[in-house]
Chain A
Amino acid sequence: AQSVTQPDIHITVSEGASLELRCNYSYGATPYLFWYVQSPGQGLQLLLKYFSGDTLVQGIKGFEAEFKRSQSSFNLRKPSVHWSDAAEYFCAVGANTNAGKSTFGDGTTLTVKP
């Protein structure tokens, strides 16, 4: 069975500082990996995804993530955080099958200090 762990429940960074949100997954084959962002009371917006190929993927809003098979990780990074990045971030793994539900981590809440 697939699973996702986001070890950090809450992270606070200063505006302009760099950011890394951790994500570890468990899946028997090469997974599909996703990062979503959710603002309070809103739905989920896809930031980026990894299916295959280049292990460093670029997303929207200046985010990037790196797939490391040896570490079963897919950490999200941003070099300089903006106040508008404050939100909840979810990592998800999709089953590479014909019943492709996604399994989500419990999320990391990002607070940005001025």
Chain B
Amino acid sequence: NAGVMQNPRHLVRRRGQEARLRCSPMKGHSHVYWYRQLPEEGLKFMVYLQKENIIDESGMPKERFSAEFPKEGPSILRIQQVVRGDSAAYFCASSPKGDGGTQYFGPGTRLLVL
């Protein structure tokens, strides 16, 4: 059973460009969480999605950030018009239930904005 997959592992963008981060949950998992880790900090919750639904986006910046988890395909975290402050590691986690239980983390996407 493959683990949580994220791609790309590293992404370089110039200011103003768009960044698209993909997350494929573990097989059988329909709950996906996105977290951001700024340098020298812990992980901060961004958004929680189930298939085709955003359940909790309380940690998402109000502008430029969006997330989706379509019926088919991976979850996408999209950052429009990136700025240097968006440089961070973005982790996706999946779980079979959205009950606070064990979440399985992917290897992360490290975004660098030049």
Q: A residues bordering B, Cβ < 8 Å?
A: 32, 34, 36, 41-46, 49, 51, 90, 92, 94-107
Contacts and interface: CB of A to CB of B under 8 A. Distances in A.
Interface string B69-102: 0000000000000000000000101010111111
Nearest to A100: B100
Contacts of B114: none
Contacts of B110: 41
Contacts of B100: 32, 94-97, 100-102
Contacts, number: 68
Given A46-B102, A102-B45, 10 more contacts: A41-B110, A42-B108, A43-B106, A43-B108, A44-B105, A100-B98, A101-B33, A101-B48, A104-B44, A107-B41
B56 interface: yes
A99 B48 contact: yes
A90 B42 contact: yes
Interface of B: 33, 35, 41-45, 48, 55-56, 59, 91, 93, 95, 97-108, 110
B43 A90 contact: yes
Point out which of B45, B98, B100, B107 has the most chain A C-beta atoms below 10 A from its C-beta. B100
A97 B97 CA distance: 10
B40 to A, nearest CB: 8
Contacts of B106: 43
A94 B101 contact: yes
Nearest to A4: B42
B33 to A, nearest CB: 6
Contacts of A103: 45
A49 B102 contact: yes
A107 B42 contact: yes
A80 to B, nearest CB: 27
B108 A100 contact: no
Contacts of A90: 42-43
Contacts of B44: 104
B91 A102 contact: no
A43 B48 CA distance: 19
